[in-house]
Amino acid sequence: MDREIATTLGELERKLVELERALSAIGEREQAASAWEPSSAGRLVDEAVETPRGDGPAAPVVPGPATSVAPGPSAPPPSVPPPAPAAGYGGGYRAGSAIDSRREPTAAATSVPGPGARHEPAGDRAPSAAELLRFRERLERTARELTQEYDALLGRLREPAAAPSRQPAGGTISFARGAPSLDIVDVDGLRQAAARAFDSDPGGTTAYGTSIGYPRLRAWIADRHGVAPERVLVTNGSMQADAFLFEHLVHPGDDVVVERPTYDRTLLSLRERGARLSAIDLLGDGIDTEALARLLGDGRGVRPRLAHIIPNFQNPAGHTLSMAKRRELLALASQYGFLVFEDDPYVALRFSGESLPTMLSMDPERVVYASSFSKTVCPGIRVGYLVGPPDIIDAIARLATNTYISPSMVSQAIVFEFCASGAVERSIETVRSALAQRAAALAGALRREIPEAQFLTPEGGYFMWVTLPPGADVDRLQKLAADRGVSFVKGTDFMLDGGESSLRLAYAGVTPAQIEEGVARLAAAYRSL
Ligand SMILES: Cc1ncc(COP(=O)(O)O)c(C=O)c1O
């Protein structure tokens, strides 16, 4: 089939070449005859330049050099003069060649019959230059359209066959991923920070470094938290920080308090370590400290090593721990001798309400703090950190050395440059304002599309926790939603038990328009339950 099409296109091209020759010949003949009236010839050329090439009936114009036909993907650059007729399909009809051939014989353009030209009845007279030009125009247009159509067909042939999908066009809208969309990542800023890192500290950036992290970034973080650098350890993402902390502190059978619901990866990691988990309900203002106090005081002997708390815009619920509860929690930690693990990657992303002090700043000896640049800069950079009592940081630094010698100095040097230049503040502002819009869009769409859904609009962060009326089977909803091209994470993934009627919607990776469409799809899936 390829060969046949090529032959046809080659034939077309041959016709164009013949036509050019005929026009040139007529041009030469008539130029001599009509040398007395050059201005009328010029007019046709002017019209050709002024008259846009439309898709309507072929206009009697000669396209000037400014008119171009974009070569198809496989077309070579225009060549002058037109090549000999293609022998077979040598990579596509040379659309450009037809155009260039127009430029060449200006004689054709100057060969329009002047007022003295004879007008013979059509059919039995030789065609005039204008007629030939009109015909050439049509021929070129046809060739161009065919070429484009052919290239498109060929392109589709080369694409892998798409799997049959029941999903609507436009792809899946994901409320599942807790990651920023590309439009709110400062790629240019990161590129420049990388260049500065290699320029200003090529040795430190390319070396192994040490397990405590890139020293300049460590110092920058320490300064931010108002602590000595010895209290800081910079890791490959805060997930790595969590893993080190758990490896150091949590042994099989140890009691650990977690929020209910909580970040699914923490839950998994603690379970795999054999920790005995006590899941305490999360309320609108954070963990239920009264329930925790009851658990600790009821004589069952629960004595946690640590309590894992996500204080700001919690993952998955989006709730924030109130000031009163921060104090109560620290008081319980002090009374019962456990550490608070303050897991705080979203703290900078508040878009409404008042910021609250970290528990780290309230009791630095009782708190191990983790945060991350994943949510404010980008997750791919994989830079997070721990702040804690020096003995814990020292022990974890040894663990880190034995695990990977050192974290990525390249990533950390880039993050340092990004922070030191102030780009991080601009990035935070960009992310924060996008999140504010997206959270508002999500809340509005949910109220409109699924009025029975219950949720608290978060004051920051990435997530919204949605609870449907009792009996709503979110497991089934997830499948029905997937069929309609929308994804989310089920509530049950964030709990040891329960959560069957709840789901987490992450809005950081979707634009307001996608949110509208995604919620409409979700609502359709919900109504079909
Ligand atoms: C509460 C919490 N902790 C830790 C992490 C892991 O972050 P990182 O990308 O820094 O490893 C996440 C990521 O979603 C999170 O939500």
Ligand 1 centre to CA of 242 (Å) is: 9
Mean pLDDT value of segment 121-145? 64
Q: Is 379 in the pocket of ligand 1 (CB under 6 A)?
A: yes
Q: Which two tokens stand for residue 321?
A: 């721990």
Q: Check residue 477 and give its pLDDT.
A: 98
Burial 64-93 (b: 16+ CB within 10 A, else e): beebebebbeebeebeeebeebbeebeebb
Ligand 1 centre to CA of 239 (Å) is: 6
The closest alpha carbon to 453, from 493, 517, 391, 505, belongs to 505
Tens of pLDDT along 5-43? 555 556 656 665 665 666 566 655 555 444 333 333 332
Range list for CATH 3.40.640.10 in the chain: 185-423
Assign 163 a pLDDT band (cuts: 50, 70, 90): very low
Q: Check residue 420 and give its pLDDT.
A: 98
Mean of the per-residue pLDDT values for the chain?
80
Q: Is the pLDDT of residue 58 over 80?
A: no
| 371 CA closest ligand 1 atom index | 10
Query: Using an 8 Å Cβ cutoff, are 350 and 460 in contact?
Result: yes
Query: Using an 8 Å Cβ cutoff, are 526 and 445 in contact?
Result: no
Ligand 1 centre to CA of 334 (Å) is: 26
Cα distance between residue 468 and residue 502, in whole Å: 6
Partners of residue 505 on adjacent β-strands: 464
Tens of pLDDT along 398-446? 999 999 999 999 999 999 999 999 999 999 999 999 999 999 999 999 9
- List strands edge to edge, sheet with 463-467: 463-467, 502-506, 489-490
Query: Using an 8 Å Cβ cutoff, are 116 and 34 in contact?
Result: yes
Q: Which two tokens stand for residue 482?
A: 């997937």
Q: Is 374 in the pocket of ligand 1 (CB under 6 A)?
A: yes
Ligand 1 centre to CA of 318 (Å) is: 14
Mean pLDDT value of segment 295-311? 95
Between 2.60.120.10, 3.90.1150.10, 1.25.40.340, 3.40.50.920, what CATH number should domain 173-178+426-527 receive?
3.90.1150.10
Ligand 1 centre to CA of 238 (Å) is: 6
DSSP state of 379: G
Cα distance between residue 482 and residue 176, in whole Å: 11
Q: Calculate helix-pair angle for 512-527, 423-449, nearest 10 degrees.
A: 30
Topology annotation, domain 185-423: Aspartate Aminotransferase; domain 2 (3.40.640)
Mean pLDDT value of segment 197-223? 98
Q: Is 509 in the pocket of ligand 1 (CB under 6 A)?
A: no
Tens of pLDDT along 250-291? 999 999 999 999 999 999 999 999 999 999 999 999 999 999
Q: Is 89 in the pocket of ligand 1 (CB under 6 A)?
A: no
Instruction: Read off the pTM.
Output: 0.71
Tens of pLDDT along 456-471? 999 999 999 999 999 9
Cα distance between residue 250 and residue 376, in whole Å: 29
Range list for CATH 3.90.1150.10 in the chain: 173-178+426-527
Partners of residue 276 on adjacent β-strands: 255
